[in-house]
Structure 1
Amino acid sequence: MRAIIASLMSFFVIFSGFSTYVSATEGANLAPNSFSAIIIERDTGTVLFEKESKKELPPASMTKIMTMLLIMEAIDTGKIKYDDMVRTSEKAASMGGSQVFLEPGEEMSVEDMLKAIAVASGNDASVAMAEHIAGSEEEFVRMMNEKAKELGLTNTHFLNTNGLPAKDHYTSAYDLAMMSKELLKYEEITRFTGIYEDYLRQNTEDEFWLVNTNKLVKFYPGVDGLKTGYTSEAKYGLTATAKKNGMRIIAVVMGAPSPKERNKQITEMLDYSFSQFMTHALYERDHVIAEVKVSKGSQSKVPVVTSESVSVLTKKGESIDDVEEKLTFTTDLQAPVKKGDVVGSLVIEKEGKVLVETTLVAGEDVESASWWRLFKRTLGKFSGM
């Protein structure tokens, strides 16, 4: 299918010189006691600081960021629902490490399983959800690696869903930040990752107290996710996100020597980001940008919406102007069209420099039209002549 620039307009706000990439040297001496680190702004993906961010390292339980991403995608597409019941297999129940002690045959809702993964880092819940969505953990891992390729992540390879130690199971700080950026498109995920404490199996003899492994959820204002990780090989890692004054930051540390040092480094990274930068919001996710024609569909047009929130980033105190917005739509779009199908792109530029680029998607399903409907449509064209 061919794509053309279907619309070109100027979007005027108060904006001036800035960079879409800030050199790591501007970040002072952040994350000195870690293997690698990175800070990005979520909406634009702009790197605010990085240290060895492409280095391949064991992620431990930060693996579950990709696990949660595939779960949220399945919920968003209607493949699964929060109140679906998930049965625990013998394999899922046998997982060691962090767990919520699921029993073989035990059933728990998708919502509670997601809570177990996000808050308690449940290895058992991760495998149970993988099997529920894909039929087996092995197939789910294939989906994880396929998603990593789709996102352009070249320093990632998964062998399991939970991050238990395995040879050739690795990712990088940069790739974790990009996974988190994609996960945070589903804003409801922070309803789970932002919980500090809760319970599973409430009002039963097996009530289980959940306490978030990410202590910054309680102790740093604005933090509402995402995931910690620890193994003796990986050391202490944390992918954290916080939102203040409309700007969402993602900060990743891998290989810190202790939980205290890990939290200290993330805190300093967040402090730096919020003190130096600000965002200018343009569109929320699912904002209707336009309508495009659909041939042979049950309806002739489909709404085109933003696939994620869209913002422009500046240094604090800087202003913006003369930002140009370019919309590119797919031509020859034919039914059936599924909600979420990519049907165009949105590019924000200033003086020919790309500031933000994001996909535009179909806002609803368009089924193929019946033969009779197409016949009547064609007949109507002739009768109107």
Structure 2
Amino acid sequence: MKKVTLLKSMVLALSLSLFSPIISVKADPITVPKIYAKSAVVIDMDTMEVILDLNSEDKMYPASTTKLMTAILLAENKSKEENLTYTKSAKDQPAYSLNASVKPINIGTTMTAGDVMKALLLYSANDSAYIIADNVATDSDSFIKMMNEKAEEFGMKNTNFITANGLHNENHYSTALDLAILGKRSYDNPWVRETLSIKEDSIQLPSNDKFLMENRNKYLGKNGNLGGKTGYTTEAGKCFVSIYERDGRKLVSVVLKSIFDGEDLAMFNDTEKIIDASYSAKKTILINKDDIVETLPIQYKSFGFFGPSKTIDVPLIVKEDIEYYENPINKKYLEKDINTAGLNPWKLNKNLSAGKLTLKEPLSSKKYVLYPSVSKSDLIKANLLIYIGTLICTILIITIIFFFKSKVKRNKNKKRYF
């Protein structure tokens, strides 16, 4: 009977609290500075909290920021010293390729994977992406499948890759939020991270010529910029995925569909603005310390294992301020999940956990301990009249039994006497 009662209490508690709305205290949301980009986002690399959001779920064309995924797959499947063969699909790529922009390369010649990685991320060579695709997979179509599988593994829910280099295709799309995930994953990979941090370097072409390359990230090394990948097509506009570190704290930023100004600095300035705003952003208090998060009606038996079934309202509180970054996407997806599994009303203690509160945001979640505002003593007080009544009845019954036993004994003694 006890197990059934506790199970009912647990189910009732969860049904009342799962996915219930959160009411935040009044505070100013994170303000997005004026930028040219149509979509932008900044996330904390350690916590995966979204700090700043501007249309970050809108489907956009990612252009050459796509090459971050291509770089990850190269790093996961090849070593720097391995030779990669120059393929026909690589030679078929248009401008901004080594073959078309630097020097013709013959199909079948080789380059080291290390040099191909540099060509991909520093010079953004379109043919280098297809050298990788054809050498990592059996063909470029198989590689595209690998890209999409990896995107799904990363939790990039609104991304679809059609090309290995990001050249325009109507069905090749992503979002700022998904590209922020990709930026974090790229930086987590040692080889990709190392390459993104190179300001300039040279590679050896199959013709044995040395080709000097300068990183297209013009802000590399400035104001905490650790690395990033640029992108541009007419349809995509100027795009930039970048990683920053200030005071030991790393952030990933994404700007999409910025403008191509005369000095080609608009997307970099957009990035600086949202990064500055994010580093100075303050969290909003969502739930104050000692505030009631939820009040749960819990069923119990007056005498623990037996007795009348009763219900007590158990207010659950947190003993710390709960904060979050207030922005459109966090407000949209913020979700509260309360778990009181195994809660025994007769073991309630104001200083012991009564359950867990999980707050879910778009890319992160955090758990908090919930404490009851009532204790076992409150249950005893609530049932005091029952206990007193039971005690009185028990005393009366014992008295009556004792009386009758005494009477029977006296009668027996009388019979013996006569």
- By how many angstroms is 1:268 displaced? 1.2
Separation in 2, partners of 1:237, 1:160: 17
User: What count of residue pairs does the alignment treat as equivalent?
Assistant: 264
SS of the residue 1:135 aligns to:
coil
String of CA shifts for 1:160-184, please: whole Å, max 9, x gaps: 1001111211111011001112222
The 5 Å alignment of 1:26-37 reads 26-30=29-33, 32-37=35-40
- Who is 1:327 aligned against? none
Cα 1:186/1:27, change in 2 over 3 Å: same
Query: Contact between 1:196 and 1:217, CA under 8 Å: does it hold in 2?
Result: yes
- By how many angstroms is 1:194 displaced? 1.1
The 5 Å alignment of 1:1-385 reads 26-30=29-33, 32-74=35-77, 80-101=78-99, 102-201=105-204, 206-218=209-221, 220-258=222-260, 259-276=264-281, 352-353=357-358
Separation in 1, partners of 2:27, 2:258: 19
- By how many angstroms is 1:189 displaced? 1.9
Cα 1:45/1:165, change in 2 over 3 Å: same
Separation in 2, partners of 1:167, 1:224: 31
SS of the residue 1:33 aligns to:
coil
Letter aligned with residue 58 of structure 2: K
Q: Which has the higher helix share?
A: 2
Query: Contact between 1:119 and 1:213, CA under 8 Å: does it hold in 2?
Result: yes
SS of the residue 2:122 aligns to:
helix
Query: Contact between 1:100 and 1:208, CA under 8 Å: does it hold in 2?
Result: no
- By how many angstroms is 1:272 displaced? 2.2
Separation in 1, partners of 2:215, 2:106: 22
SS of the residue 1:209 aligns to:
strand
Bigger Rg, which one? 2
- By how many angstroms is 1:99 displaced? 1.8
Cα 1:244/1:105, change in 2 over 3 Å: same
Cα 1:27/1:137, change in 2 over 3 Å: same
Separation in 2, partners of 1:266, 1:353: 32
Query: Contact between 1:36 and 1:53, CA under 8 Å: does it hold in 2?
Result: yes
- Who is 2:346 aligned against? none
Query: Contact between 1:24 and 1:49, CA under 8 Å: does it hold in 2?
Result: no
Separation in 2, partners of 1:34, 1:158: 22
Separation in 2, partners of 1:277, 1:42: 17
Query: Contact between 1:67 and 1:161, CA under 8 Å: does it hold in 2?
Result: yes
Cα 1:94/1:277, change in 2 over 3 Å: farther
Cα 1:154/1:202, change in 2 over 3 Å: closer
Name the % identity.
28
- By how many angstroms is 1:97 displaced? 2.7
- By how many angstroms is 1:188 displaced? 3.6
SS of the residue 2:148 aligns to:
helix
Letter aligned with residue 227 of structure 1: K
String of CA shifts for 1:147-169, please: whole Å, max 9, x gaps: 12222322111111001111211
Unaligned runs of at least 5 residues, structure 2: 1-23, 100-104, 284-322, 326-354, 367-418
Letter aligned with residue 93 of structure 2: M
String of CA shifts for 1:329-357, please: whole Å, max 9, x gaps: xxxxxxxxxxxxxxxxxxxxx97345866
Query: Contact between 1:31 and 1:253, CA under 8 Å: does it hold in 2?
Result: no
Separation in 2, partners of 1:65, 1:118: 8
Separation in 2, partners of 1:109, 1:140: 19
Give the alignment's TM-score, normalised by structure 1: 0.63
Query: Contact between 1:133 and 1:140, CA under 8 Å: does it hold in 2?
Result: yes
Give the alignment's TM-score, normalised by structure 2: 0.58
Query: Contact between 1:45 and 1:181, CA under 8 Å: does it hold in 2?
Result: no
Cα 1:264/1:105, change in 2 over 3 Å: same
String of CA shifts for 1:67-115, please: whole Å, max 9, x gaps: 11222222xxxxx211000010122122113222244222111111111
Cα 1:35/1:276, change in 2 over 3 Å: closer
Cα 1:202/1:63, change in 2 over 3 Å: closer
Cα 1:114/1:28, change in 2 over 3 Å: same
SS of the residue 2:228 aligns to:
strand
Query: Contact between 1:24 and 1:51, CA under 8 Å: does it hold in 2?
Result: no
String of CA shifts for 1:276-309, please: whole Å, max 9, x gaps: 479xxxxxxxxxxxxxxxxxxxxxxxxxxxxxxx
Q: Which has the higher strand share?
A: 1
- By how many angstroms is 1:205 displaced? 5.9
Query: Contact between 2:201 and 2:213, CA under 8 Å: does it hold in 1?
Result: yes
Query: Contact between 2:42 and 2:252, CA under 8 Å: does it hold in 1?
Result: yes
Query: Contact between 2:238 and 2:256, CA under 8 Å: does it hold in 1?
Result: yes
Separation in 1, partners of 2:225, 2:47: 19
